[in-house]
Structure 1
Amino acid sequence: MTAFDAAAATSTSTGFRTATEIGHTELGPRPLPPLAEQRAATGLSSVDTVLDNGLRVVAVHAPAVPMVELRLRIPFAGTDPLHAARAEVLAATILTGTRRRDRVAIDTDLALVGGELDAGVDPERLSISGNALASGFDTLLDVLADVLTGATYAEEEVGGERGRLVERIAVARSQPSVIAREALQRHRYGDHPFTREMPEAADVATVRAEEVRELHAAGVLPRGSVLVLVGDIEPAEAVARLGSALSVWSDEREAVVLPDLPHVTGGDVLFVPRAGAVQSQLRLTAQAVARTDPRYPALQLANLAFGGYFSSRLVENIREGKGYTYHARSSVEFTPSGATLLVESDTASEVTAPALLETRYELARLGVVPPTESEVDSVRQYAIGSLLIATASQSGLASQLAALVSLGLNVDWLVEHPARLARVTAEQIAEAALEFFSPTRYTGVIVGDAEQLPLLRSLGGVISS
């Protein structure tokens, strides 16, 4: 008896049809229906303005559910070697108490309106994200204003969070992916502050509460920051209520932005030894263009064809075809002054050299043998569909807009991007493939066991640290 016959027998005895039966006919598998037309959001009611305190606010009416999503992005750069450690402690403790509320009161007031707030930091910005029921919007704003202007950073709270951060950082720094990321950042950008994505545990251990308070006073500034609101709100009214709530958050200084990054230039791949490693981490990178560049839509689709989704050429080759890796992908990374392309895979040590060889081959092949019409159709559908899915929820739309607004873009850019993708021709994708995916444009790092170095050097363009 076949699996289908067994399933049919089971369904007969229970009186229900199985998924196998539903998906089959007497002539074979039931054909899939065609994809419906992909429609971008249009006619979004929004307000994009700058408050008196210099804070840019974008509010969007999206009443799918009676909630409001909030995304605040504050430029928060610093050149001091200890800035990353202090910023990490600040992000971990900014929501632990104010002059009006302790940690429990903050959590309680938010919980009573179905809300929450979280904070995080990277070398570029301090981010505060949250949501609440639309009926609790004023409470959400009041707690946010309280945190921005009255965070106290109590000694016991800083001490507790500092200890937890030290433990987490120590564990993270033992992970191969973290080692590879830090090596890549140093290789690309040297000692630029952008490379300090994770502070040293020893530096975090020295951070004092007074230093965190001083950093808050110097860096948590409205002028130059952006705040996005998305939800069941009337935009103009929401901006007015926000302006009233945050009127106490004021300063003439500008939030601190990162200096421009140097362009990534092609060159040798740096081998970073990791004794006894059973896997190698391959990271290749090249300069790309920002979202505002007219070539960006074609670059986005060319990247998908190369390694940006599961049916891409890179995945088909080194994962599905040769079994060198479980994880292989390429992506566009957006930086403060532009963008880079990143190609990454983790391979067994013994196939590190073949994996690098095949990756370079696929980079070259994308330009020499550009994506076919079938590939172009697939990546276009994937790109448009992914964007529409990502922005279908209030949370997704808010996060997408926060990233765009920080770059000076607006709601219109997001609404119009599916149409830009739809207009990209196969010829434009071929041009982007030739321009951006030539192997000579790439540099990068490989972290792995030193016994693999002779084989890698035989391929050329690999040096040791």
Structure 2
Amino acid sequence: MSAPVTHRSAEEIGRTPAGPRALPDLGETREVPLPEVVTETLPSGLRVLVVRRAGVPMVELRLRVPFAAPGGVGDPAFTARAELLASGLFTGTTRHDRVGLDDALAAVGADVGAGVDPERLLVHGSGLAEGLPEVLGLLGEVLTGATYPEAELLRERERLVERIAVARAQPRTVAREALQRRRFGSHPIALEMPTGEAVAEAQPDAVRALHTAGVVPTGSTLVVVGDLDPEAALAAVQERLGGWSSAGTARELAAPPTPSAGPLELVHRPGSVQSQLRLTAPALRRDEPGYAAFQLANLVFGGYFSSRWMENVREDKGYTYGAHSGPEFVPGGAVLGVETDVASDVTAAALLETRYELGRMVAVPPTPEEIDAARRYAIGSLLISLDSQGGLASTLASLDAVGLDVGWLRERPVRLEAVTPDEVAEAALEFFAPERFTGVIVGDAEVVGPRLRALGGIA
């Protein structure tokens, strides 16, 4: 007679008579498993990247059109027209009205939208793989024949004015705008959102003229990722978007100035019960030597939940629900952002602890254990971000815009694994010294100002 079958619990499996079983060391991730990217530039000047990633019968599209304001300075009228263009891009063409476009996209399980910022117009969408030719056909129709019907555009204008009013009532929006001005002055990159007044004055004819002048294929990039045959997809792009042409070239945004170190600007927001702390300093581009070491140093400081700064101001002091630091990539460079929101009565204390942690990165470099934990997080989060078709499409589009390709992604774990503690210490010394930073604090100046000014370094 056989012995009765017994089942052990997870706790029993994880223990031995001598205690808990030791976890095995994590193995090295030598390369990100990514498919090949087929690249071609069409006669129109449109650059196309196609990737076959099976798994689900879907495709993701990302069309990036450089869309900088002319003249090299922030222009509220241009920003308003650009926002209205993005909002109204799919409101009608010479063949379909808004409902007709929506119905045609829905018939192939597709959803397409558009957004704009100081750098580019981005058309993003997804749909069933078998419907890719139809989606491309509708996209081509919009790119070459968007009509921006006056009634639709006026409704979009009204909604946009309301959304801007709501956004500008939010403290995080106030902080972001103040930070961008502090970083970049009058450069167009600082003007991320138009005023409601400028939008209200934008006219349909001006939006149509902007489309004709700025929505052009030369200099633009289309990324297609999904369950498809790359050659067939390229043929479909050529067939359906071949009529999109222009003599002009899409306008790339010029590199903004590098932020200068200096005192923090206190932005008065009367009656605010919270303060927004936003610090910034120059950082490294992804393709610069030392970027991997900088990335690990940033993670140790404030780039993920187990970082030093988070442990201090959230877990130990209880000043905030969240604190985060990380690079933002801009044309020709990058900036480091350090941000958290705290109650008014602990604003000065939170700034003090932030400066302390920045200084500790210099005086007490990250330990090998801290670096290894950050390395595992960096590699793991990279793999997760590329696991979906949409994540891969967005990443490829952003990398291609700065001249990087899928090879950079594949080699990323190798570069992270190769970083030494000494290199991270050097990055911490170079990029996290408190004297390198400037920034803004948004709050009720009458409440938070006296203690902040007593700390020093406040404009």
Residue 61 of structure 2 aligns with an amino acid whose one-letter code is L
Out of 181, 187, 190, the residue aligned to residue 185 of structure 2 is: 190
User: Counterpart of 1:423?
Assistant: 418
Q: Which structure 2 residues correspond to residues 204-353 of structure 1 after superposition, within 5 A?
A: 204-353=199-348
- Alpha-carbon shift at residue 217 of structure 1 (Å): 0.4
- Alpha-carbon shift at residue 105 of structure 1 (Å): 1.7
User: Counterpart of 2:64?
Assistant: 73
Are 2:60 and 1:47 equivalent residues in the alignment? Answer: no
Out of 58, 80, 83, the residue aligned to residue 49 of structure 2 is: 58
Structure 1 runs, 4 residues or longer, greater than 3 Å off? 16-43
- Alpha-carbon shift at residue 237 of structure 1 (Å): 2.8
Q: What does the per-residue CA deviation read over 1:398-426, in whole Å, with 9 as the maximum and x for residues that have no partner? A: 11111101111111111211211111111
Q: How far apart, CA to CA, are the structure 2 residues paired with 1:84 and 1:17? A: 64
Q: How far apart, CA to CA, are the structure 2 residues paired with 1:400 and 1:242? A: 20
Q: How far apart, CA to CA, are the structure 1 residues paired with 2:395 and 2:270? A: 41
Q: Which structure 2 residues correspond to residues 96-111 of structure 1 after superposition, within 5 A?
A: 96-111=91-106
User: Counterpart of 2:151?
Assistant: 156
Distance verdict in 2 for CA 1:356–1:26, change over 3 Å:
same
- Alpha-carbon shift at residue 45 of structure 1 (Å): 2.2
User: Counterpart of 2:196?
Assistant: 201
User: Counterpart of 1:413?
Assistant: 408
- Alpha-carbon shift at residue 40 of structure 1 (Å): 4.0
Q: How far apart, CA to CA, are the structure 1 residues paired with 2:221 and 2:434? A: 38
Distance verdict in 2 for CA 1:35–1:102, change over 3 Å:
farther
Q: How far apart, CA to CA, are the structure 1 residues paired with 2:449 and 2:414? A: 47
Q: Secondary structure at the match of 1:88?
A: helix
Distance verdict in 2 for CA 1:201–1:18, change over 3 Å:
farther
Residue 97 of structure 2 aligns with an amino acid whose one-letter code is D
Are 2:447 and 1:456 equivalent residues in the alignment? Answer: no
Residue 270 of structure 2 aligns with an amino acid whose one-letter code is A
Q: What does the per-residue CA deviation read over 1:200-245, in whole Å, with 9 as the maximum and x for residues that have no partner? A: 0111111111111011001101111111111112223322221221
Are 2:134 and 1:134 equivalent residues in the alignment? Answer: no
Residue 422 of structure 1 aligns with an amino acid whose one-letter code is E
User: Counterpart of 1:147?
Assistant: 142
- Alpha-carbon shift at residue 285 of structure 1 (Å): 0.1
- Alpha-carbon shift at residue 28 of structure 1 (Å): 8.2
TM-score norm. by structure 2 comes to 0.93
Whether the aligned pair in 2 keeps the contact of 1:222 and 1:251 (CA below 8 Å) is: yes
Q: What does the per-residue CA deviation read over 1:347-402, in whole Å, with 9 as the maximum and x for residues that have no partner? A: 11111111111101111111211111110110000000000000011111111111
- Alpha-carbon shift at residue 32 of structure 1 (Å): 6.4
Q: How far apart, CA to CA, are the structure 2 residues paired with 1:132 and 1:403? A: 21
Q: What does the per-residue CA deviation read over 1:275-295, in whole Å, with 9 as the maximum and x for residues that have no partner? A: 111111100000111111011
Percent of pairs with identical residues: 57
Out of 105, 110, 114, the residue aligned to residue 115 of structure 1 is: 110
Residue 426 of structure 1 aligns with an amino acid whose one-letter code is P
Higher mean alpha-carbon deviation, 244-253 vs 145-154, is at 244-253
User: Counterpart of 2:3?
Assistant: none
Q: How far apart, CA to CA, are the structure 1 residues paired with 2:58 and 2:317? A: 48
Q: How far apart, CA to CA, are the structure 2 residues paired with 1:290 and 1:22? A: 46
Whether the aligned pair in 2 keeps the contact of 1:40 and 1:388 (CA below 8 Å) is: no
User: Counterpart of 1:3?
Assistant: none
Distance verdict in 2 for CA 1:100–1:174, change over 3 Å:
same
Whether the aligned pair in 1 keeps the contact of 2:89 and 2:114 (CA below 8 Å) is: yes
Out of 368, 371, 376, the residue aligned to residue 366 of structure 2 is: 371
Residue 168 of structure 2 aligns with an amino acid whose one-letter code is R
Q: What does the per-residue CA deviation read over 1:246-304, in whole Å, with 9 as the maximum and x for residues that have no partner? A: 11111121101212200111111111111111111100000111111011111111111
Q: How far apart, CA to CA, are the structure 1 residues paired with 2:11 and 2:103? A: 49
Residue 43 of structure 2 aligns with an amino acid whose one-letter code is D
Aligned Cα root-mean-square deviation (Å): 2.0
Q: What does the per-residue CA deviation read over 1:37-91, in whole Å, with 9 as the maximum and x for residues that have no partner? A: 6464336222122211111111111112121111011011114330111111110
Q: What does the per-residue CA deviation read over 1:304-342, in whole Å, with 9 as the maximum and x for residues that have no partner? A: 100000000000011111111112110111112211000
Whether the aligned pair in 2 keeps the contact of 1:282 and 1:345 (CA below 8 Å) is: yes
Q: How far apart, CA to CA, are the structure 2 residues paired with 1:202 and 1:101? A: 31
Q: Secondary structure at the match of 2:321?
A: strand
Q: Secondary structure at the match of 1:277?
A: coil
Q: Secondary structure at the match of 1:290?
A: coil
Residue 251 of structure 2 aligns with an amino acid whose one-letter code is V
How many positions carry a matched residue from both structures? 448
Q: Secondary structure at the match of 2:340?
A: strand
Q: Secondary structure at the match of 2:180?
A: helix
Q: How far apart, CA to CA, are the structure 2 residues paired with 1:95 and 1:37? A: 46
Distance verdict in 2 for CA 1:40–1:133, change over 3 Å:
farther
Q: Secondary structure at the match of 2:327?
A: strand
TM-score norm. by structure 1 comes to 0.92
Whether the aligned pair in 2 keeps the contact of 1:45 and 1:235 (CA below 8 Å) is: no
Q: How far apart, CA to CA, are the structure 2 residues paired with 1:397 and 1:151? A: 29
Whether the aligned pair in 1 keeps the contact of 2:76 and 2:198 (CA below 8 Å) is: no
Q: Secondary structure at the match of 2:288?
A: coil
